Amino acid sequence: MTAGTIPKRIGVYDSGVGGLSVAACVRRLLPEAHYFYLSDNLNFPYGIKPDEAVVAFTTKNCKKFIDSYELDVLVIACNTASTVALEAVRIAVKIPVVGVVPAVKPAGQLSTSKSIGLLATPATVKRPYTLKLIEDFANGCSVALQGSSVLVEIAEKKLRSELYSTAAIKAEVDALLGQDPKIDVIVLGCTHFPLLQDELSQLYPKIQWVDSGAAIASRVKSLLPTITPTLKPQRHDAGVAIFTIETAAAHSLSNALIPFGFNITDFLKF
Ligand code: DGL
Q: Which of 211, 236, 256 is the last residue before a domain boundary?
A: 211
Last residue of a domain, one of 211, 230, 259: 211
Within a domain: 80: yes
Q: Which residues line ligand 1 (CB under 6 A)?
A: 14-16, 18, 44-47, 78-80, 121, 124, 152, 190-192
Mean pLDDT, rounded, of the chain: 95
25 is catalytic: no
Neighbours of 221 (CB within 10 A): 13
Task: Indicate which residue's Cα is closest to atom 8 of ligand 1.
Answer: 47
Is there a single domain that holds both residue 183 and residue 86?
A: no
Query: Which pLDDT value is given to residue 1?
Result: 53
Answer whether residue 168 is part of any domain.
yes
pLDDT, tens digit (0-9, with 9 covering 90-100), for 168-220: 999 999 999 999 999 999 999 999 999 999 999 999 999 999 999 999 999 99
In a domain, 183, yes or no: yes
Residue 3 covered by a domain? no
Does the pLDDT value for residue 85 go beyond 60? yes
Distance from C-alpha of 117 to C-alpha of 128, rounded to nearest angstrom: 17
- Determine the average pLDDT of the residues in 15-38: 98
43 and 31 inside one domain? yes
Instruction: Give the position, in ligand 1's atom list, of the atom nearest the Cα of 49.
Output: 8
Query: Angle, to 10 degrees, between the axis of helix 128-137 and the axis of helix 79-92?
Result: 100
Q: Quick one: 37 and 164 in the same domain?
A: no
* Residue 96 shares a structural domain with residue 230: yes
Task: Tell me, yes or no, whether 241 and 163 share the same domain.
Answer: no
Is the same domain home to 111 and 203? yes
- Tell how far the Cα of 196 is from the centroid of ligand 1, in angstroms: 14
* pLDDT reported for residue 228: 76
Ligand 1 atom at shortest distance from the alpha carbon of 45: 9
Distance 17 CA to ligand 1 centre (A): 9
Q: Are residues 94 and 224 in the same domain?
A: yes
Q: In terms of domains, do 136 and 235 share one?
A: no
Q: Which domain holds residue 151?
A: 104-211
- CATH number at 112 reads 3.40.50.1860
pTM: 0.96
181 C-alpha vs ligand 1 centroid, how far in Å?
26
User: Rounded to whole angstroms, how far apart are CA atoms 167 and 164?
Assistant: 9
1: in domain: no
Helix 150-159 × helix 166-177 angle, to 10°: 150
Same domain (yes/no): 157, 71: no
The verdict on residue 232 lying in a domain is yes
Structural domains counted in the chain: 2
